[in-house]
Structure 1
């Protein structure tokens, strides 16, 4: 997914918080110059998009009037660059040379994150614990964090939203210990080893794989030491979180087993490849963490990242009017 089509203020604000650089293309369906420069913008997006580093968006100013007004968009197309959530540059009008010049200046920073998908997974804009499948990208920013539900969570640990943060897990530094005081940036199960995670999405996605990070530390002398996940059942397009008994009665779309050799010792992450044909039009996911890789009654998960592509193909519509000014 190279360009993200913005459908709400909340979606755009989430991107501003999760990506170091966001480029916004404010356009209108009736705008001829918008149509003319679209291939240039799309080409730059394909070349320079980097998960959590540089994100390219399109915003229909007629449909998202609040956003257009908030950022003083008075003509179409208008391209605005945001860095760390703040508006830093504006390119007004269909000027391919100027647009290319401004965006190419971001390329140097973008390339710094190319090696971040391996090794310790650290970059200036985000964190990854496993390689991203070629041809796909991180679509975790499409998670509706306000609608997350997590059953059987230990309330003394983190909330569900910490699983989808782009920051480097604290457990990486301590190889499992992390922040034991205050709000933890991981989750643990409570009464037994099972967790049920409901993940609503802001748009329809094609999901290729998941990255599951766990810095659980095995301890033979402590039967309360948490385990890493082993068996995960996946369900799609449910309207709500499943109860544990309910999940047992519903066939999973896919059941995966994470083997010991699947875990990267350095990043604590396992890449879970899915049966892509089964995950083509996904609006929500349910992850049922069934058991772990030991005998403990505690399960720990530090991060979940979703890798895939947008399942929506938006049409620009028929060119109805040529002009640059909104509302003409």
Structure 2
């Protein structure tokens, strides 16, 4: 299925606008961006299975750090509580943590299984295969202190990561709520240049012509996750 996006991602680099947000998180924006892998995500290659609205999975990953607590867009599951998200990167990364935010309801995810470099998964294989790591997601806090959860990963298992697949297996409803809702997904870590040396995070990945071949290659593989979608 071809992905047609006309978005100009230049709007995503809002490093200097932290004074314009209603919630007071301006002090943590710059440190968060220093290790945030937002600019290294291949947004057009994202595929989400069982999403109620097409492209809503990609939409929540496209949220900038400043938009992380916005209610919309929101990813909702369709026929049951499970979601499967394939997220490719524009090159090699070392993942350090998963960033996650959901509204504080029973629809928030409880268990997330991560698979490194597996663009070929569907729900059947994701349920059968041993994940790279399984995360128990705490319930979202309510009130003004509510913010993105940063869940540490086993770093040794996520070296040389070119894509990550998130299997949202269950939510906090204990089987009573068939819709899982996720508002924000992001990652922290290190982006590796083609020579495998760490590079600074605030550079423009798309401006490097060497990255374009990697993007195209990842996209082609990524589409196999969703036959018929």
TM-score by shorter chain over 0.5: yes
Does 2:84 correspond to 1:196? yes
Q: Partners of 2:24 and 2:116 in 1: how far apart?
A: 28
Q: Partners of 2:152 and 2:13 in 1: how far apart?
A: 25
The 8 Å contact of residues 121 and 267 in structure 1, kept in 2 or not, is answered as: no
Does 2:171 correspond to 1:273? no
SS at match of 1:238: coil
Q: Alignment partner for residue 217 of structure 1, among 72, 88, 105?
A: 105
Structure 2 gap segments, 5+ residues each: 198-229
List aligned pairs for 1:1-328, cutoff 5 A: 14=9, 16-20=10-14, 53=15, 109=16, 120=23, 122-123=25-26, 132=32, 137-155=35-53, 159-164=56-61, 165-166=63-64, 167-169=66-68, 171=70, 178=71, 184-218=72-106, 227-240=107-120, 242-260=121-139, 263-265=140-142, 266-294=145-173, 295-312=176-193, 314=195
> Between Structure 1 and Structure 2, how many residues are aligned?
184
Q: Partners of 2:148 and 2:195 in 1: how far apart?
A: 34
Question: What is the deviation of 1:259?
Answer: 2.6
Return structure 1 stretches of 4+ with deviation > 4 angstroms. 119-124
Structure 1 gap segments, 5+ residues each: 1-9, 21-52, 54-108, 172-177, 179-183, 219-226, 317-328
TM-score by length of 2: 0.69
Q: Partners of 1:315 and 1:247 in 2: how far apart?
A: 29
Q: Partners of 2:111 and 2:196 in 1: how far apart?
A: 40
Question: What is the deviation of 1:238?
Answer: 1.6
Question: What is the deviation of 1:160?
Answer: 1.8
Question: What is the deviation of 1:234?
Answer: 0.3
Structure 1 pair 310–238 and aligned structure 2 pair: CA distance change class (3 A): same
The 8 Å contact of residues 47 and 58 in structure 2, kept in 1 or not, is answered as: no
Q: Partners of 1:315 and 1:278 in 2: how far apart?
A: 17
Structure 1 pair 303–196 and aligned structure 2 pair: CA distance change class (3 A): same
Structure index of larger Rg: 1
Q: Partners of 1:267 and 1:190 in 2: how far apart?
A: 26
Structure 1 pair 292–281 and aligned structure 2 pair: CA distance change class (3 A): same
Question: What is the deviation of 1:120?
Answer: 4.2
Q: Partners of 1:315 and 1:127 in 2: how far apart?
A: 27
The 8 Å contact of residues 194 and 288 in structure 1, kept in 2 or not, is answered as: yes
Q: Cα RMSD over matched residues?
A: 3.3
Q: Partners of 1:315 and 1:239 in 2: how far apart?
A: 22
